Each structure stands twice: as structure tokens, then as C-alpha cells.
Chains A and B, each alone.
Chain A
Amino acid sequence: MDAVSLNYVLAIGAVLFVCGVICMTTKRNGIGILMGVELVLNGANLNFVAFSRYTSLGLDGQVVSLFVIVLAAAEAAVALAIALNFYNNHLTIDVDRGDELHG
């Protein structure tokens, strides 16, 4: 029997996911929204690695979590470039100011 049950790891993943979602919805700073996305991806990663450790999934969970890490790095680079462009055009990073398409 293991020292730590699978459910506790899943609970930590759930906390990370919920914090990330709240961060994405409530922050008005564009960089803060990016941090929320990173938290959500980390919660998913933690679940993948936990299933890889505790179930018969085997090594596949770790492979998928490595893919998620690479995709998160790529997403952070592109989103940061977009945030810099937003700042150059609006002189602020407040995402509520990006309302040119508002009807």
C-alpha cells in the first residue's frame, strides 16, 4: 500500500485548476491571466503524473505531461508577444481597455 493515496494528489490538482480558472476570470492584468493559464496546465500535469504513478497507465502519463510542459512554454512565449503588442498599442496591460471591437 502506498504512503499517499491517489485522491489527495487529485485534490491538489483540483485546487491548482480552480485557482487558475479564478485567476483567469478575475485578473485584469494580461500577465496575471497568463499566470492563471500556467496554474491550470500544472493542475492537469499533476493529475497525469499521479495517474501514471498509481494506476496501470504506466509511462504514458509522464509522456503526456512532458508534451503539456512544452506546449505551455510555447503558449507562454506567444501570449507574451501578444501582450507586448497590446501594451505597445494601448500603453496599458489592462485587458478591459482592449474594447475596440465592442459594438
Chain B
Amino acid sequence: MNVEQLLFALFALLTCAGAISVVICQNVVRMAFSLIVCLASVSALFFLLSADFVGATQLMVYVGGTVVLLIFGVMLTSSSTLLQIRTSPAEGFLAAGIGVLFLAVFSFTAWSVDWDANSDRIARVTAVDVPPQGYNEASSGNTVRPLAMAFVGLRPDKGGNAAGYLLPFEIISVHLLVVLIGAAYLARTKRRVSADTQNK
């Protein structure tokens, strides 16, 4: 077992433990902390899969942005009595059983596919001359330049005629702008419903 396998096993274990802990914990703040552990481990897995830019983006956007947003949501919406909203144990057992069944189905499906033969067939059909092991060797790891060229519509890594991503990039930029303006509009302060007019 070399270093890469050891690191992969460690971060895989951390990822699964964080995800299961998010499901099991009833306290929202502990759930948020488990989510941070899980997402940071996923970004470490991205680095191990030689996707350095995606891993860095995962760290910045998820761990640095989305989880902080969620924690602010926890702080803005929880008073002391409402911090724990419990689910009943029967629902928990039912969900655990369904989850184990789901996991068995997915794992069986993934293990029963011959990915190498599949990859060869795709290469034969599309007739694109790409190396079978991704786009570069694991040691070089520099994906920022090819990713940036793919976003402006140039694909030197797949030959000149492959499709770029300029239009989806523009669409998602405008989408992000619209969504953030809409979120700021939705979340602005309004007159709050007073407690005595609450009918429950």
C-alpha cells in the first residue's frame, strides 16, 4: 500500500464519516461542522484525483462560502428551544433500511460495469484520439489552463473540433447574478409576524 492509497483511504473514511454524521446528528450546529469535515475531505479527494482547480474551488466555494451561509442561516433561524427538532425513531430505522438498500443497489451497479471495455468502446465510436487514462498524467496536475481554454470555447486537449463551453459559461454567469439579486430581494427585512397573532 503506497502513500496515495493510504491518503485515499484516510480521506474516503473522513468523507463517509462526515456524511453519516450529518445524517445522524440532531443538533444543527454539529451537522454544519460534520458537513465542513465532509466537504473538505471531498476536496482532498479531488486533489488526489489530480483535479487541482476543482479541489481548490470546492474549498473556496463550499467550505468557505456555502457552509458559512448555512451557519448564518442556523444562527438567524434558531432560538434555544428550536435548535433540536427531532425525528421519530421509527422514521429513522425506516430511513436507515432504505438507505442500505439504496447503497447496495448503487454499489452493485457500479461494480458490475466493465469500465475499461466501456472506455474502449467510447474511444472507438467517437474516434477521438485521447489517452485512456484521462487528459494528463497524475504528476503534472496543472488543469487551470486547459479548463480556462475550455470555458472560452477552445479545446486543444481533445483536438480542435471538440465542443467548448462558452455559451454555458455565459448562461451560468448571468444565472448567478440573477440568483444573487433575487436572494438579496427575498431575504430583506420585513415586518415580522408578532407572537400573539400566531394561531399556534
Contact = CB atoms under 8 A, between A and B. Distances in A.
B143 A62 contact: yes
Contact of B115 (A4, A22, A34, A55): A55
Interface string B39-71: 100100110111101100110011001100110
Contacts, number: 246
Number of contact residues on B: which range applies? 35 or more
A45 B183 contact: no
Given A63-B165, A66-B147, A70-B176, A78 B77 contact: no
Main SS of the interface on chain B? helix
Interface residues of A, number: 76
Contacts of A76: 66, 69-70
B92 A35 contact: no
Interface of B: 2, 4-5, 8, 12, 15-16, 19-20, 22-23, 28, 31-32, 35, 38-39, 42, 45-46, 48-51, 53-54, 57-58, 61-62, 65-66, 69-70, 72-74, 76-78, 82, 85-87, 91-92, 95-96, 98-99, 102-103, 106-107, 110-111, 115, 118-119, 122-123, 128, 130-135, 143, 146-147, 150-151, 155, 157-158, 165, 168, 172, 175-176, 179-180, 182-184, 186-187, 190, 192-193, 195, 198, 200
Interface of A: 2-4, 6-12, 14-23, 25-32, 34-36, 38-39, 42, 45-46, 49-50, 52-60, 62-63, 65-67, 69-74, 76-78, 80-85, 87-94, 97
